[in-house]
Amino acid sequence: MMSRPRIIVIGGGFAGLWAVRGLRRAAADVLLIDRSNHHVFQPLLYQVATAGLAAPSIAAPLRHMLRHQRNLTVLLGNVTEIDTAAHRVIAEGIPHPYDYLLIAAGVTHTYFGHDEWRRDASGLKTLDDALGMRARILMAFERAEAALDPAEQAAWLTFVIVGGGPTGVELAGTLAEIARHTLRGEFRHMSPASARILLVEAGPRVLPAFVESLSRYAGRALQRLGVTVHTGRAITQVRADGVSMGGERIAARTVLWAAGVQASPLGRHLGVDIDRNGRVRVRADLSIEGHPEVFVAGDLAHVSTGSGTVPGLASAAKQMGAHVARSLRARLGGGTTPPFRYRDLGQLATIGRRAAAVQLGAVRLTGVIAWWFWLTAHIFFLIGFRNRLVVLIDWASGYWTYRRNARIIVNPPPGSGADRPLAGKSGPDML
């Protein structure tokens, strides 16, 4: 027992989870370390943020999912140091030795050097982020209702979404539907339908990772929903009361950040080459230069293919995690590690109800068919039978009624509207 090799996996996202599962029959002791007690189905985080789903519907406790894997220990904790020379990882002040290491710590959002924007621009990478974003969005409508000054009310009804990737597009489309449909008839001093939803993308088109025809489709679909799409415009300032795009100032109380990712700082501990987003440049087998026993997978890995780099998608992370597990099993058996080959399984984005963009190799789908495809794929890949059923119920009820079933403000974070005084100087008569 004491001589079994020790494998540490940092991160219980798609890459880490698929690696751990692939090691279930390996003759090794595996330690999975994660900062949170649950795996999150990230593709649906925006639905928690927009009050369509409850947080537990897209999360599963890691311990529970992996309880039958007898060679595995799960540890909740923060990794603060990786010492590749001494072959150990420090988590919560405690050193953990390893023979093999997989770092799958993912990415967080970056504000392009403007960390002071964080307070006023919610990101969306964790469930806490999603609940914070939900509180901001719901509070903005409450504050618009309570606002005395028309300009103030308009600022509470202006939502700026920064970043035109799938998350930005999905947030913008959903917000437009919430404003036009979900909240209809619920307010007395303003019309939620008058809300302005702005999607700002610095590049020339939304969904930049998709083919151009799908970008054009998504842009049109967003405009039909009432979203104003700005492409080729960069946000140059974010403050509590609005954003600047070059010289133009937009009064907006709610800024949702779906731009720029920055790799986990753990990548910098490795002493190897990183790209400008902090992602670790790995070798063909996903190990790092000089340390064949250390692997990096998922969004944290910069993997070159013939034509570019492997994208930061759930399907890519799963493939990398599974590949590392296969390589480790081969190594433990005395074999060698094959190179990683990325299989492009396509990408999807929804744009509100009954509209989506799907790109699968040469196949492109739009409209209702794409939307059904998106829905089926997400239900299929969602982990846990109960979650699938509850998500289906929420979606079915939402589809017929436009209701959003998680419209509760809990634990609003500092910086969300909820911690600022509700009203201004003078007094309205609410009746």
CA angle 58, 60, 61 (to 5 degrees): 150
Contact call for residue 414 and a copy of itself (CB under 8 A): no
Closer residue to a copy of itself, CB minimum distance, 83 or 273: 83
Q: Please state whether beta strands 59-61 and 38-40 pair in parallel, antiparallel, or not at all (unpaired).
A: antiparallel
Inter-helix orientation angle 314-332/14-22, to 10°: 30
| Least spacing, CB of residue 420 vs a copy of itself, in Å | 10
d(CA 253, CA 160): 9
Distance in Å, CB of 309 to a copy of itself, minimum = 32
Judged by CB under 8 A, the residue of 21, 24, 61, 293 near a copy of itself is 61
- Tell me which residue of 46, 55, 243, 254 sits closest to 137, measured CA to CA: 254
Which residue is it, tokens 């309205």? Answer: 428
Select the residue interacting with a copy of itself from 64, 114, 224, 268 (CB under 8 A): 64
Query: Which helix H or strand E contains 139, and what residues bound it?
Result: helix 127-146
Shortest distance in whole angstroms from residue 393 CB to a copy of itself: 6
Residue type, 52: G
356-360 and 158-162: which strand pairing? unpaired
Single residue of 6, 281, 291, 353 touching a copy of itself by CB under 8 A:
6
Is 34 among the residues that bind a copy of itself (CB under 8 A)? Answer: no
Q: Any contact of residue 73 with a copy of itself (CB under 8 A)?
A: yes
* Active site annotation includes 170: yes
Shortest gap between Cβ of 386 and a copy of itself (angstroms)?
5
The Cα–Cα gap between 240 and 222 comes to 26
Binding segment toward a copy of itself, per CB under 8 A, in 65-73, 151-159, 223-231, 262-270: 65-73
Asked if residues 152 and 140 have their Cβ atoms less than 8 Å apart, the reply is: no
Minimum CB distance to a copy of itself smaller for 306 or for 400 = 400
DSSP H helices, 297-361, are 314-332
Report the alpha-carbon distance of residue 194 to residue 211 in Å, rounded.
32
| Closest to a copy of itself by CB, 335 or 424 | 424
Contacting a copy of itself (CB under 8 A), which of 234, 251, 274, 423? Answer: 423
- Residue pointed to by tokens 């909740």: 76
Nearer to a copy of itself, 146 or 274 (CB): 146
Looking at 41, 47, 96, 107, which residue binds a copy of itself (CB under 8 A)? 96
Burial string for 141-152 (b: 16+ CB within 10 Å, else e) reads bebbbbbeeeeb
Query: At 190, which amino acid appears?
Result: M
- For residue 86, state whether it binds a copy of itself (rule: CB under 8 A): no
Residue 306 binds a copy of itself (CB under 8 A): no
Query: Which one of 20, 138, 348, 351 is in contact with a copy of itself (CB under 8 A)?
Result: 138
Cα–Cα distance measured from residue 190 to residue 54, given in angstroms and rounded to the nearest whole number? 27
Per CB under 8 A, 188 contacts a copy of itself: yes
How near is the Cβ of 62 to a copy of itself at its closest, in Å?
A: 9
Residue in 92, 116, 145, 170 annotated catalytic: 170
Q: Minimal CA–CA distance to 262: which of 125, 106, 110, 103?
A: 110
Residue 61 or 208 having the CB closest to a copy of itself? 61
Contact string (CB under 8 A) for a copy of itself, positions 360-389, x = contact: -------------------------xxx-x
> Which pair of structure tokens corresponds to residue 58?
């897209």
* Vertex 71 angle, CA 380 and 270, to 5°: 85
Closest CA to 378 of 350, 344, 342, 406: 350
Q: Smallest gap, in angstroms, from Cβ of residue 171 to a copy of itself?
A: 19
> How large is the C-alpha radius of gyration of the chain?
23
Assess 97 for contact with a copy of itself (CB under 8 A): yes
**Positions in the binding site for a copy of itself (CB under 8 A):** 6, 29, 31, 36-38, 54-57, 59, 61, 63-64, 67-68, 73-78, 92-97, 127-128, 131, 138-139, 142, 145-146, 183, 185-189, 385-387, 389-390, 393-394, 397, 403, 405-411, 413, 421-423, 427-431
Active site residues: 170
